[in-house]
Amino acid sequence: MIFYPDNTLIMAPLSGFTDLPYRRSLRRHGCYYAFTEMIDAGSLAYSNPNVPRMLSRGEEEPWLGVQLVGADEAMLLKSVEVLNTYHFDLLDFNLGCPVPKVAKKGAGAVLGRKTDEAARLLELLVKHSRIPVTAKTRIVSEDDPEQTVRLARKLEDAGAQTLTIHGRIKERVYSGPVFHDIIAEVRKAVKIPVVANGGIVNRASWEDALCRSGCTVAMAARGAMGNPWLFDEVRDPDHRPPTLDELADEIALHIGEMTIFYGDEAGFRIARKVVLDYLRGRRFPGALRNRVSFLKSHTDLNEILDEVRQPAAAGRQTGFSPDGIGV
Ligand SMILES: Cc1cc2nc3c(=O)[nH]c(=O)nc-3n(C[C@H](O)[C@H](O)[C@H](O)COP(=O)(O)O)c2cc1C
């Protein structure tokens, strides 16, 4: 069974984000447990050319989980075969993703609602994977904890070694309150560790999630996007927000690594959303964010970072106040 140490904050898999340069940035700030981006079983089975990059692990990465999504038995089996040739610490089965691309294949959150089928497929992964298998899912209902408890028990019986529960139903996607009380019911009902997920944006909301769910481990997602300092803050209550120079330095390192990882053209294109996240909630002017939308060269990046480093204009802050993530 996997026991994450008490009071750990894990980083969530984030599709389109948690690639190797992203995780390196998180790790610079103390993140130990991290995941690849979610990988589609079909892409693995059919050797999509992006797969090796999506599965790449840095030599310095101390621990890395891979997350798999899919609902087709044959593809899942083929993907485990492929994943068995790589070096990961665990295999997480996605039963919570609500996006249409995944839902139309009956995978992710749609599969999470089909308790018996989800458990059957997870059992298959457990049987064939050479590394431990876990699941990440959502609460099934906001009104009836028993439905989520039933799913959790089935997944436990099928061999899941931990369960991460996002405390929102699939219809809410990523907004609305996080039902930590339902996560607490699940935790009490199963023997395997349960990881609480949803709404963690700072040390206070991390403590609140642990306290209300009774879990000893939680998982951050949007609260760490553009804010790897969340991991510093959780380890050290006195950790101060980054200065403007530290913010600019982190962006420079992160995006520099992206251009090495993807090449300049794709690197800068993918980097735009990443840079926007770093600027979000920090009251930078709209004109600067607009420029980021056209980022395509090292010169552009340096000019943007020169502006980021400017001494704070009235009201500008380096503390992070994301909207709409917390409860
Ligand atoms: C951009 C984005 C990408 C995501 N990708 C994944 C993913 O690949 N796998 C997964 O299990 N969850 C994914 N999630 C969901 C998060 O892991 C997390 O469960 C959710 O955001 C709730 O946590 P939060 O309120 O702290 O953000 C994604 C969320 C976002 C916003």
Q: What is the CATH number of the domain that holds 47?
A: 3.20.20.70
Instruction: Summarize pLDDT for 18-65 with one digit per residue, the tens.
Output: 999 999 999 999 999 999 999 999 999 998 999 999 999 999 999 999
Instruction: Summarize pLDDT for 264-300 with one digit per residue, the tens.
Output: 999 999 999 999 999 999 989 999 999 999 999 999 9
pLDDT surpasses 70 at 92:
yes
3-state SS, residue 35 = strand
Instruction: Summarize pLDDT for 156-193 with one digit per residue, the tens.
Output: 999 999 999 999 999 999 999 999 999 999 999 999 99
Rounded to the nearest 5 degrees, what angle is found at the Cα of 32, between the Cα atoms of 31 and 34?
A: 85
Nearest atom of ligand 1 to the alpha carbon of 38: 8
Q: In whole angstroms, what is the distance from residue 227 CA to residue 25 CA? A: 10
pLDDT at 269: 98
Whether the CB of 41 sits within 6 Å of ligand 1: no
**Whether 196 and 271 share a structural domain:** no
Of 43, 54, 166, the one to substitute when testing ligand 1's pocket (max ligand atoms within 8 A of C-beta) is 166
pLDDT surpasses 70 at 246:
yes
Domain that holds residue 300: 244-309
Is residue 325 in a domain?
no
Q: In whole angstroms, what is the distance from residue 242 CA to residue 250 CA? A: 9
3-state SS, residue 43 = helix
pLDDT surpasses 70 at 319:
no
Instruction: Summarize pLDDT for 254-267 with one digit per residue, the tens.
Output: 999 999 999 999 99
**Whether 54 and 146 share a structural domain:** yes
Is residue 320 in a domain?
no
Whether the CB of 282 sits within 6 Å of ligand 1: no
Whether the CB of 96 sits within 6 Å of ligand 1: yes
**Whether 59 and 206 share a structural domain:** yes
| Beta strands, E only, 23-89 | 34-40, 64-69
Instruction: Summarize pLDDT for 218-242 with one digit per residue, the tens.
Output: 999 999 999 999 999 999 999 999 9
Is residue 327 in a domain?
no
**Whether 223 and 285 share a structural domain:** no
Is residue 318 in a domain?
no
Q: Is 97 a catalytic residue?
A: yes
**Whether 138 and 58 share a structural domain:** yes
**Whether 203 and 280 share a structural domain:** no
pLDDT at 323: 56
Whether the CB of 18 sits within 6 Å of ligand 1: no
How far does the centroid of ligand 1 lie from the alpha carbon of residue 211, in Å?
Answer: 21
- Over residues 127-146, the mean pLDDT reads 97
Q: Could you tell me which residues come within 8 angstroms of residue 309 by beta carbon, excluding any fewer than 6 positions away?
A: 244, 245, 248
**Closest C-alpha to ligand 1, atom 10:** 13
**Whether 127 and 253 share a structural domain:** no
Is residue 1 in a domain?
no
pLDDT class for 312, splitting at 50, 70, 90?
Answer: low
> Following DSSP, what letter does each residue of 127-160 receive, concatenated?
HH-SS-EEEEEE-S-SS-HHHHHHHHHHHHHTT-
pLDDT at 3: 77
**Domain total in the chain:** 2
